[in-house]
A = this chain, B = another copy of it.
């Protein structure tokens, strides 16, 4: 029982395949009766058009590719949910790719997407990516690309991000207002724009409040809890006694949270801690983690909208939109000293 094709229908009905094709697409120049018969048989035979044949013919697929560093990061999972939300409604299927923060994997994913005639792609850069040629050449050929979160300044296309600077500034300011005098920052990988912007927000806040910036307590970690745990241990056993930590992401903050607890220090009394993203888990930690909320779902929606727009109106090529979403402080126990 193999798949029904347009040919089967044509044979059965003693018409040509083109007639069937036209009837199926409801062409105006088809006899009402013929159309009826075709539609009926198609239904009965459970006919569905072959997407691969369509792809070969038309060079598109109704699929859009999404590349994220790591699907297990709830932030990306939420963004993807947002993407699926609008893509789905518009009849697109979203295909998920992971770069595992690895440049080669990212290149492979990009190639796969282009080869399979995906209609466009959404990407959040891998940590390891320093060279953007794989995007550049596609983009120059007019292939629709939209960056989100870990965006790329070198390519002139639509982008969606949050105001990392502002979020980081507010987080740091909050710690200051809670009475912290020696605030450390655990940054993300320096080649990511979001890491640098958050670091910048941290520095600016200290500057504005006339708090000396100490390079010794500005550390850097990958965006995962395991490494952050190690880095924070190192921070805590250093010569400078800190009483506040702003972590560049919740995953980092979770590692710091564990390190602080392990060291027998109390939050927020000994050390006030704040992260960035507002992952679902943060509210369930003990003590609950303060953080900067990022509208992840909304980010996915926006990115998908921009992409689909790009797909449907390739001429809009010239004006690149950068949508910067707002963050919001979420204060929980880990940083709340003053009620």
Q: Which residues of B contact A141 (CB under 8 A)?
A: 1-2
For A52, A70, A80, A96, the residue with the greatest tally of chain B CB atoms inside 10 Å of its CB is A52
Which of A28-36, A126-134, A253-261 contacts the other chain? A253-261
Task: Count residues of A near B (Cβ-Cβ below 8 Å).
Answer: 44
Which of A109-117, A170-178, A189-197 contacts the other chain? A109-117
Q: Which residue of B lies closest to A51 (CB)?
A: B115
On whether the beta carbons of A115 and B74 are closer than 8 Å, the reply is no
CA gap between A112 and B116 in the complex, in Å: 14
- The residues in A between 50 and 97 inclusive whose CB is less than 8 angstroms from any CB of B are 50-53, 55-56, 70-74, 76-78, 80, 84, 93, 95-97
Q: Which residues of B contact A98 (CB under 8 A)?
A: 80, 84, 96
Other-chain contact of A78, B72, B112, B257 (Cβ < 8 Å): B72
| A284 contacts partner chain B, Cβ-Cβ < 8 Å | yes
On whether the beta carbons of B284 and A48 are closer than 8 Å, the reply is no
- Quote the shortest CB–CB distance from A209 to chain B (angstroms): 31
| A229 contacts partner chain B, Cβ-Cβ < 8 Å | yes
On whether the beta carbons of A257 and B286 are closer than 8 Å, the reply is yes
- Quote the shortest CB–CB distance from A326 to chain B (angstroms): 23
Q: Which residue of B lies closest to A96 (CB)?
A: B96
Other-chain contact of A280, B116, B225, B283 (Cβ < 8 Å): B225
Q: A74-B72, A116-B52 in contact; A254/B281 too (CB < 8 A)?
A: yes
List 11 A-B pairs, Cβ < 8 Å: A48-B115, A51-B115, A52-B116, A56-B56, A70-B77, A72-B72, A72-B76, A93-B112, A96-B98, A258-B284, A258-B286
Residue positions of A touching B, CB distance < 8 A: 1-2, 48, 50-53, 55-56, 70-74, 76-78, 80, 84, 93, 95-98, 111-112, 115-117, 141, 225-226, 229, 254-255, 257-258, 261, 280-281, 283-286
